[in-house]
Structure 1
Amino acid sequence: MANGEGDQYDSSRIASSTIAGSATSAVSDETMTRISRHYFTNDNDRSSGDGFSVDIIENIQEEYGMFVWPCAIALAEYVWQQRSRFSSKSVVELGAGTSLPGLVAAKVGANVTLTDDSKNPEQVLGLTWGEWDPPLFSLSPDFLLGADVLYDNSDFDDLFATATFLMKNCPGCVFITAYHARSGHHLIEYLMSKWGCKCTRLLDAFSTVPPTKASNLHGSIQLAEIVLNDHIT
């Protein structure tokens, strides 16, 4: 159901109702799940028929990985706006969680592999950062996507170890990530230098998100495109 104001939530048991133009949602006590519906359209005009929506099942009882966080919404919107770059390309989403950016990439024509920690892969490919899991060697991405993967400082080196391995194996591969400013871009710059990478584009994510979506997001979100340094072989 749409209320005309960015993304919103429907119940997993379709218990929502629309009253006076605004949606109300009910959450099942048994499953503690909800479905969030995310719209991707030109100029945020859902009536144009040019675009699509993606429904994500979120589990309120699970850890943070089972929610759609603002960085995922910002990165997914960026994929939609840059959709011509992703069509027919190979895309790997790292730390996919609820997988919104990867699903949007698939909707715009990319060949997408969703990955997450191999200890709890659920319905995605198990891939633990910094470890040489066998599936790592079968991936040949043109793009890596990562939403809020720069969250825990203790994981940063492992993340960059995996990302740079894939970029070295796939010349021209671009790592696109959205992260909260809490991560500290100075630390990220240090990690890029350490792992032989460079940032080719750094944006305030809110500059790419339509106002109706931006009004529902919080914090300072940055979006970076990272590649291998040309001088590193």
Structure 2
Amino acid sequence: MANGEGDQYDSSRIASSTIAGSATSAVSDETMTRISRHYFTNDNDRSSGDGFSVDIIENIQEEYGMFVWPCAIALAEYVWQQRSRFSSKSVVELGAGTSLPGLVAAKVGANVTLTDDSKNPEVLGLTWGEWDPPLFSLSPDFLLGADVLYDNSDFDDLFATATFLMKNCPGCVFITAYHARSGHHLIEYLMSKWGCKCTRLLDAFSTVPPTKASNLHGSIQLAEIVLNDHIT
């Protein structure tokens, strides 16, 4: 669990600063870990003194979940730009991995629960498609998911969990960033199957500052998904 004041973070995973710019990193040869720093400021103005940075420890030897991938950067930037929506709200990040979007949400004032599979001991263990006890304790206003639409075999389980939480929490919005390789037609089919609809679909690069966009690759979409009976 994390909150906007930072008092519940693991300090080894996050640090704040008022310096602006694009992501930087440092690598330790001995441990094969990398610390990447991600900046969030108004208009990407280095001299503004506004905003903060988030440090993420990435493990180069671990599986793909321990890297900050482009979708996480795009979703985190979207949270920053939409920060007024998240202040004092309850946020759950699904498949958190290195947790950049969720940590940014916490820094802008949300009450955040980071979830992933049980192999990641630093977050709440939650298996998509299974009715784990922690699932019933969550009451999110927003669900966040970066690159969770990656493996087709997981899509139904993901939507089962997401729609369960949205049904239990009226007004809940699922915001996800994904590579176009996932196939929006398949995602549209899954939304229809699970009684959902997309209320906003963006090219994620339209929301990312040029200094960050130049370091991202691929076609990234950002979607806001709600239940069909959601009133907008």
Q: What is the Cα-based RMSD across aligned positions, in Å?
A: 6.1
Change (3 A) 1:21 1:197: closer
Where structure 2 has 5 or more consecutive residues not aligned to the other structure, the ranges are: none
Cα distance in 2 for residues equivalent to 1:13 and 1:68: 13
Contact 1:7 1:37 in 2 (8 A): no
78-87 vs 40-49, greater mean Cα deviation: 40-49
- Partner of 1:3: helix, strand, or coil? coil
Q: TM-score, normalised by structure 1?
A: 0.88
Cα distance in 2 for residues equivalent to 1:2 and 1:142: 15
- Partner of 2:26: helix, strand, or coil? coil
- Partner of 1:182: helix, strand, or coil? helix
Superposition deviation, residue 47 in structure 1:
1.6
Contact 2:71 2:220 in 1 (8 A): yes
Superposition deviation, residue 12 in structure 1:
9.8
Change (3 A) 1:194 1:143: same
Contact 1:90 1:142 in 2 (8 A): yes
Change (3 A) 1:34 1:154: same
Change (3 A) 1:18 1:169: closer
21-30 vs 192-201, greater mean Cα deviation: 21-30
Cα distance in 2 for residues equivalent to 1:69 and 1:93: 15
Superposition deviation, residue 230 in structure 1:
1.3
Contact 1:86 1:105 in 2 (8 A): yes
Q: Give the length in aligned residue pairs.
A: 232
Change (3 A) 1:206 1:9: farther
After the TM superposition, which parts of structure 1 deviate over 4 Å for at least 4 consecutive aligned residues? 1-26
Percent identical among aligned pairs is 100
Cα distance in 2 for residues equivalent to 1:64 and 1:193: 29
Superposition deviation, residue 121 in structure 1:
3.7
Change (3 A) 1:7 1:70: farther
- Based on CA coordinates, which of the two structures has the bigger radius of gyration? 1
1:94-151: CA deviation from partner (whole Å, max 9, x where unpaired)? 00000000000000000000000134443x0000000000000000000000000000
Cα distance in 2 for residues equivalent to 1:89 and 1:156: 26
Contact 2:13 2:57 in 1 (8 A): no
1:66 aligns with 2:39: no
Change (3 A) 1:154 1:23: closer
Superposition deviation, residue 232 in structure 1:
12
- Partner of 2:211: helix, strand, or coil? helix
1:150-180: CA deviation from partner (whole Å, max 9, x where unpaired)? 0000000000000000000000000000000
112-121 vs 142-151, greater mean Cα deviation: 112-121
Q: TM-score, normalised by structure 2?
A: 0.88
1:174-211: CA deviation from partner (whole Å, max 9, x where unpaired)? 00000000000000000000000000000000000001
Change (3 A) 1:209 1:20: closer
Change (3 A) 1:11 1:37: farther
Where structure 1 has 5 or more consecutive residues not aligned to the other structure, the ranges are: none
Change (3 A) 1:194 1:4: closer
Cα distance in 1 for residues equivalent to 2:89 and 2:4: 32
